[in-house]
Amino acid sequence: MVTELLHLDAAHPDQHEIDRAGRILREGGLVAFPTETVYGLGGNALDPEASKKIYAAKGRPSDNPLIIHIADMEHLYPIAAEVPEAAIRLADVWWPGPVTMIFRKKAIVPDETSGGLPTVAVRMPNHPIALALIRAAGGYIAAPSANTSGRPSPTRAEHVMEDLDGRIDMVIDGGEVRIGLESTIVDFTEDVPCILRPGYVNEQKLCEILGEVTIDPAIVSADGMHDRKPRAPGMAYRHYAPKAKLSIVTGDMESVINKINELARRAALEGKTVGIIATDETAAHYTEGHVRDIGSIDSDKEIAQHLFSVLRDFDDDGVDIIYSEAFDTPRMGQAIMNRLLKAAGHSVIEA
């Protein structure tokens, strides 16, 4: 299959081209597209064959359900059986935006899309290309992140092409995404809303709107959830992993720099190529290896936006081992560290 790479203006996408991409989706094809979080791999969510194609293209386990993307509130009710008032309040503030909500599903949602679960995940993305494409496709696009299963999520169209060229019909290039981490997932099927995956919209912001929220214990357990089964099936899989072994070094800034320099020197003596994930403030202090600057310590926006592409860059560098600083920033820290810890297989070294 030849994959068409279509460049569109993110703010004002050409409607004629959007209609063409929408037609591919209506006819059962696959189109990758930008959202504000990461690039998604889209197929018609109500067509079981399209969902099967998504799993095949990504190499994704079929019990890991897809998020259905909608562009208009009235499209929620045909797929969600019970929509509590709290969810409407959250949608009022954050849709379109980086929040996914879980509801009981209606029969119209194929089991292939929901991974066999009785529930459905729904999001309204905040991106002009995504919203226009969803409408052009008939209202419902199932879209997981547009990476090969296990690799870091794509934040640029080139990442999608790296993983899926030749496997899908089209990739829409709308430039680099704004947020860079996948959506916050909130489950509304129990009495108290529960965070199943941390994201840009953090626990505190959710509490302000919802009053009470809980957080799935599996995603905050220090041992990498070996003893608990996360409620979002995808959180159980190895994910985001670069090819090289990654370890996170924690402690105060000076100790971390010293420790990473020591580890990097030792690795170099053993003939290994070392990668280091550093910040604007620390990068110049490293004396060894490929140092990649993820952004400023004070900007979790920059760190989140660059995390997945930095991990991919190390694959291109062909390093053998990677050491990263920890980025426990106040706003998005939980989401950033959740992804980084997964990428590291929970390998943490105390400085």
| Site for ligand AMP, rule CB under 6 A | 64-65, 67, 102, 114, 117, 119-121, 144-145, 182, 185, 196, 231-235
116-122 long-range contacts, CB within 8 A, separation 24+: 116/62, 116/63, 116/65, 117/65, 117/233, 119/65, 119/187, 119/189, 120/65, 120/68, 120/79, 120/80, 121/65, 121/66, 121/67, 121/68, 121/185, 122/67, 122/68, 122/69, 122/70, 122/76, 122/79, 122/80
Q: Of 171 and 260, which has the nearer Cβ to ligand AMP?
A: 171
Round to whole Å and give the CA distance between 97 and 37: 9
Burial code (b: 16+ CB inside 10 Å, e: under 16) for 132-163 equals bbbbbbebbbbbbbbbbbebbbbbbbebbbbb
Which of the listed partners (ligand AMP, Mg ion, none) does 119 bind, with a CB threshold of 5 to 8 Å by partner kind?
ligand AMP
CB of 244 to ligand AMP, least distance (A): 23
Q: Of 105 and 151, which has the nearer Cβ to Mg ion?
A: 151
Q: Of 63 and 262, which has the nearer Cβ to ligand AMP?
A: 63
CB of 295 to ligand AMP, least distance (A): 22
Round to whole Å and give the CA distance between 89 and 188: 12
How is the beta sheet containing 119-123 ordered, strand by strand? 4-7, 170-173, 31-33, 40-44, 141-142, 67-69, 119-123, 99-104, 184-187, 194-197, 214-215
CB of 302 to ligand AMP, least distance (A): 21
Widest CA span in the chain: 62
Which of the listed partners (Mg ion, ligand AMP, none) does 121 bind, with a CB threshold of 5 to 8 Å by partner kind?
ligand AMP
CB of 22 to Mg ion, least distance (A): 23
In the set 145, 282, 324, 338, which binds Mg ion (CB under 5 A)? 145
Q: Of 117 and 210, which has the nearer Cβ to ligand AMP?
A: 117
Round to whole Å and give the CA distance between 198 and 177: 18
Which of the listed partners (ligand AMP, Mg ion, none) does 65 bind, with a CB threshold of 5 to 8 Å by partner kind?
ligand AMP
CB of 113 to Mg ion, least distance (A): 15
Nearest to ligand AMP by Cβ — which residue? 234
Please report whether residue 3 would count as binding Mg ion according to CB under 5 A. no
CA distances from 126 to 2, 188, 202, 215, 291 (A): 29, 21, 17, 24, 33
Please report whether residue 338 would count as binding Mg ion according to CB under 5 A. no
Q: Of 119 and 145, which has the nearer Cβ to Mg ion?
A: 145
Q: Of 231 and 312, which has the nearer Cβ to ligand AMP?
A: 231
Which of the listed partners (ligand AMP, Mg ion, none) does 235 bind, with a CB threshold of 5 to 8 Å by partner kind?
ligand AMP
CB of 55 to ligand AMP, least distance (A): 11
Please report whether residue 155 would count as binding Mg ion according to CB under 5 A. no
Q: Of 42 and 275, which has the nearer Cβ to ligand AMP?
A: 42
Q: Which residues of the shown chain bind Mg ion in the complex (CB under 5 A)? A: 145
